[in-house]
């Protein structure tokens, strides 16, 4: 969205191209304007943080899927 905005496209057109509402485009552009690229990262959420088993992810991606 930010790159399309930099090209001069209006918010409604950006929304059509990326599949979001004009209001969402406006909100994300405002986040970028106030905080730069770092403001576009995911915001912290409530609840327990996800646990990712990195070794399981690596082995799953390196091995072919099982038959069946």
pLDDT, tens only, 44-56: 888 988 889 999 8
Name the token pair of 46: 């409530």
pTM of the model: 0.60
H or E, element range at 5? helix 2-6
In a domain, 30, yes or no: yes
pLDDT of residue 54: 92
How many structural domains are present in the chain?
A: 1
pLDDT, tens only, 2-43: 899 999 999 999 999 999 999 999 999 999 999 999 998 988
Side-chain-side CA neighbours of 18 within 13 Å: the count stands at: 20
In a domain, 12, yes or no: yes
Q: Which domain holds residue 35?
A: 1-41
């Amino acid at each position: 969205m930010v790159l399309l905005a930099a090209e001069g496209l209006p918010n409604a057109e950006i929304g059509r191209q990326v599949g979001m509402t004009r209001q969402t485009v406006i909100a994300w552009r405002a986040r970028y304007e106030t905080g730069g690229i770092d403001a576009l990262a995911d915001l912290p959420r409530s609840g327990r943080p996800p646990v990712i088993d990195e070794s399981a992810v690596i082995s799953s991606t390196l091995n072919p899927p099982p038959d069946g």
